Amino acid sequence: MQTSDQINLAIAIISGVSTLMSLAVVIATFKILRANRQTVDVMREQVVAITRPYIQVSPQVRVGSSFMMLKIWNSGASPANNLKLTLDRDFFFNAERNDNNNLRNYQAFRERIESLPPKAEITFDLGAGHTVFGNAELCPLQFTVSADYEFDDRLVAERTSVDMRPYLRSSPPIHPVAEQLEALNNQIKIFLTKLNK
């Protein structure tokens, strides 16, 4: 083999290796680009999760009493627009069978709410604990609240199952400041009684 043939062969081999290396770089770049796109998609979803509205629903017991309430609030960072709340069952306030006392007929459950801002809450009285728990037909202890709303050109549908059974025979919450005020009030009554003697 002549020198010129050897040089041509070496150039051909180097060109082939160079082509293979370029192909490897293109493949690696494509994989990096795809990984970056996936990272951006994950970051975008994280931003949405942080900034979106969340409609929360839970039963509550009024502080210092056994009065039951239903609290619906937006715990997210954006308003829930065009919010439609629905109940899957009739729930009559304090077990009083009357269409005006049916939670499903309340305006918040009949008509769309234009916007529920972040941290805004709506609270509905359900009735005295002994009445609510004693009339499961008129005051179901399990029901579902649906919240359908719009956020950032997305439609969101959330379903919350409400179960009030764990609240049966539970102690009502007591606010420490209210407890101290009650104790102070009792001391003032004792003082005034002694003063009047």
pLDDT of residue 66: 83
Q: Which two tokens stand for residue 182?
A: 């009650």
In contact, 121 and 73? CB cutoff 8 Å: yes
At 64-120, the pLDDT tens digits run 778 999 999 999 999 999 999 999 999 999 999 999 999 999 999 999 999 999 999
In contact, 134 and 95? CB cutoff 8 Å: yes
12-26, 111-125, 137-151: range with lowest mean pLDDT: 12-26
Domain regions of the chain by residue span: 1-51, 55-172
DSSP 83: E
pLDDT band at residue 173 using 50, 70 and 90 as cut-offs = low
pLDDT at residue 48 above 80? no
pLDDT at residue 31 above 70? yes
pTM for the predicted model, two decimal places: 0.71
Q: Which of 186, 184, 85, 64 is CA-nearest to residue 143?
A: 85
Which CATH number fits the domain 55-172, given the four candidates 2.60.40, 2.60.120, 1.20.58, 3.30.450?
A: 2.60.40
DSSP 165: G
pLDDT at residue 50 above 70? yes
Q: Which of 98, 44, 103, 35 is CA-nearest to residue 68?
A: 103
